[in-house]
Amino acid sequence: MSLQINKKLLFNPDGTDLIEERRMIEGPTTNLFNLNNVKYKWANKLYRTMMENFWIPEKVDLTMDVLDYTMLTPAEKRAYDGILSFLVFLDSIQTNNIPKISEYITAPEVNLVLAIQTYQEAIHSQSYAYTIESIIPTGDRDAIYEFWRDDKTLFERIKFIAKSYQDFHDDDSKENFFKSLIADYLLEALYFYNGFNFFYLLASRNLMPGTTDIIRFINSDELTHVGLFQNILVSVKNERPELFNAETIYEMFKTAVEQEIEWTNHIIGEDILGVTLESTVSYTKWLANQRLLSLGLKPLYEGFDVNPYKHLEKIADTDGEGSVKANFFESTVTSYNQSSSVDGWNDF
């Protein structure tokens, strides 16, 4: 068996579009987009959901946030700036990495979804730029973009994911491809959410409502990306079990969880109302267990089966009837609204 994974041909007249011949990777695809004839029906649903979820960050009013930012405590400002820096890096590298993954996916319906994800990641980067330009004083903006270089904890955090991507870019072995898929899943499924919760906690105190609206939109997008990579990995597990290495998954999850906890304690700690060192550990390990269960694997952390931030779900709009859930296939996304129709935070 070759150690290298085969990249799909762009022009493949000898390929076939027969459903029974279609595979997630290393299939004989012609790359024809025929959405009336698909194997992975979840991709069709996901594509339509993501296409309907169009939003423009500049339509979110950040006027109140400019004033609120001046009233944040030094710890809250540091967390706000640091988390923005982390999110900017994540979506920037993801925008560049997704097209590389798509070169090896041989299910056209899944390639379409990956294309939409690439677009959404670019919108997220635009959102952070809009937020930074609107709220952060001119002289402080460059420090946010460069924070990942200057902060050792953050650098080690992003290095783990970025190196997994770079290893695959440098050597397209099957092992590196699988590790890159896991890294994608970790980025989308684990890396964002302590940061998102920070903004929801601010919103629960009627602070930074515009920023939090943008985060809600991004959060809803990211949950569809979780579903995308979850289903890609499950398909690889079913079709190519020799490539699906549970030991590698557990090892990468352990590292990601440790770094997530270290980073969150470093940038948020216990200086933010509503967050404790214990809640960070509990939430991160609970979330990791949920993501592993979605892959059909046993939880990694015994006893962590309760979300300590359950009370934030109303603000996050990521649970409940008709909104985005941890497994978004259980529901219909209705949480995308432009600023003209987004409810205020007065009810919270």
Could you list the active site residues? 128
Contact partners, residue 166, CB within 8 Å, separation at least 6: none
Rounded to 10 degrees, the C-alpha dihedral 189/304/245/169 comes to: 30
| Residue 197 to residue 268: CA distance in whole angstroms | 11
CB 145 within 8 A of CB 77: no
Burial class (CB in 10 A: 0-12, 13-18, 19+), 157: buried
| Residue 14 to residue 25: CA distance in whole angstroms | 17
Residues in a beta bridge with 25: 105
Quick one: DSSP state of residue 312? Answer: G
CB 243 within 8 A of CB 174: yes
Alpha carbon 304 to its chain's center: 22
Alpha carbon 206 to its chain's center: 26
Instruction: Give 330's Cβ-side CA count (13 Å radius).
Output: 11
Residues in the chain: 348
| Residue 263 to residue 89: CA distance in whole angstroms | 14
Quick one: DSSP state of residue 192? Answer: S
Residues in a beta bridge with 4: 173
223-240 burial: b if 16+ Cβ within 10 Å, else e: bbbbbbbbbbbbbbbeeb
CB 107 within 8 A of CB 22: yes
